[in-house]
Amino acid sequence: MFLNTVVHDFVDRGRINLGFRPIVAGFGKFHIALLLWSCMQIATLCVYPSFCLWVFVRKDCKKNESRKVWDISSIFGLLFYQCTFVAFVIKAVLWLDLPPASSVAVLMEMTRFVMKVHAFVRSNIPRALEKTTKTSSEDKPAHAVAVPSFSKFIYFLFAPTLVYRDEYPRTKRIRWSIVFRHVLEVIGVIFYISFIFERFLTPLFDRFGHAEISSGKFVLSLFGSVMPGSLSFLCGFYCLLHAWMNASSELLRFADRLFYRDWWNASSFAEYIRSWNVVVHDWLYTYIYKDAVEHVFKDCRFLATVLVFTVSAIFHEVILAFAFRFFFPVMFVQFEFMGLLLMFVTRNMSKDVGNILLWLMLCIGNGIQLSLYNMEYYARRNCPVSGESLVDYLIPVSWSCNGISHNPNWTISAPWELN
For strands 213-214 and 404-405, give the pairing: parallel
Give the CA count within 13 Å in the CB-facing half-sphere of 185. 20
Q: How far apart are CA 132 and CA 112, in angstroms?
A: 29
> Which own/partner pairs from 335-340 qualify as long-range (CB within 8 Å, at least 24 positions apart)?
335/309, 336/309, 336/310, 338/365, 339/269, 339/273, 339/309, 339/313, 340/305, 340/306, 340/309
What's the half-sphere exposure (Cβ side, CA atoms, 13 Å) at 9?
13
The answer to whether 409 and 214 are in contact (CB under 8 A) is yes
Cβ count within 10 A of residue 349: 15
* 135: three-class secondary structure by DSSP: coil
Residue 164 CA, chain-centre distance (Å), reads 19
Distance between CA atoms of 74 and 50, rounded to whole angstroms? 9
CA-derived radius of gyration, the chain: 25
Beta-ladder partners of 213: 404
Q: Is 316 a catalytic residue?
A: yes
| Alpha carbons 234 and 236: distance in angstroms, whole number | 5
CB 283 within 8 A of CB 163: yes
Other beta carbons within 10 angstroms of residue 182's beta carbon come to: 21
CA of residue 362 relative to chain centroid, distance: 17
Beta bridge partners of 78: none
Question: In this structure, what are the phi and psi dihedrals at residue 359, rounded to the nearest 5 degrees?
Answer: -65, -40
Q: Are 268 and 343 in contact (CB under 8 A)?
A: yes
Give the number of other CB atoms < 10 A from CB of residue 56: 16
Q: What are the b/e assignments for 144-160, b being 16+ CB within 10 Å?
A: ebbbbeeebbebbbebb
CB atoms < 10 A from the CB of 374, how many? 21
Residue of 8, 143, 316, 406 with catalytic role: 316
Sign of torsion over alpha carbons 186, 190, 195, 197: positive
Residues marked active site are found at 316
